[in-house]
Amino acid sequence: MTKADDGRGLWVQDLSLQKALGKRLQSALTPPRRLIKDLRHLTNTALSYGELVQLILDESFPTTKKAKRNLSRYQSHLIKHLQAAGKLLNQQKSLVRSDRKHILIVDDELIITELLTELMRAKLYKVTSFTDSTSALKAFEINPTAFDLAVLDHQMPGIDGLELAQNMRQVCANIPIILCTSRSEFASPENVQGVLRKPIDIDLLMSSIAEILV
């Protein structure tokens, strides 16, 4: 406290701290400017669709009528494109048949099983592949009716393709089998639908599969 010349007292108080606190409180209660600046750049913000809807429904959101109109327009724009995206997804799902044929591939060379798997999946076949013939036979024995066709390599360690085909036919007599062999002279066994020479002619393999699974 200081005294004036006439003897009266004069109080001096530093209000800078209160003003600073007031500004901070005011800024804390105000949404970020990037969210309410006429929404011209709303698509560049990090707002998700759910947050956008929440802003529209929240009556306490301090924004102008013009901004709310822009929000509503943007919401309609989003809904339109979401519906278009949903329609496109449904069209893609319809392309994948629920009755896809299931093919079993057995070849001890991993690169061949991976290649055939990708090619057949591209043709919308369901594929299960093995590089071990013993494991393939066990899987087939567990659920033989799950498979519509088998593509087997002829020469494999352990159970070879011919023996595997015989064992599979004992479990399921009508399973179609295509045998792939690197032998130049090889008579088609009675228990297989077809024999293809290695290296495999992919077009011939695909056409053979299509003919068998008609």
* CA–CA separation, 145 and 191 (whole Å): 17
47: its two tokens: 């707002």
pLDDT tens-digit series, residues 46-64: 345 555 555 555 655 556 6
Pick the CATH number of 102-212 from 3.30.930.10, 3.40.920.10, 3.40.50.2300, 2.60.40.1220: 3.40.50.2300
Residue 35 has pLDDT above 50, yes or no: no
For residues 103 and 98, the model is more confident at: 103
Percent of the chain at pLDDT > 90 equals 44
Residue spans in the chain of domains classed CATH 3.40.50.2300: 102-212
Q: Where are the alpha helices (DSSP H) in the chain?
A: 16-29, 33-36, 49-57, 65-95, 110-122, 133-142, 161-171, 202-212
pLDDT tens-digit series, residues 113-157: 999 999 999 998 999 999 999 999 999 999 999 999 999 999 999
- Give the pLDDT of residue 24: 55
As a whole number, the mean pLDDT across the chain is: 76
DSSP label at residue 42: G
What is the value of pTM for the model shown?
Answer: 0.55
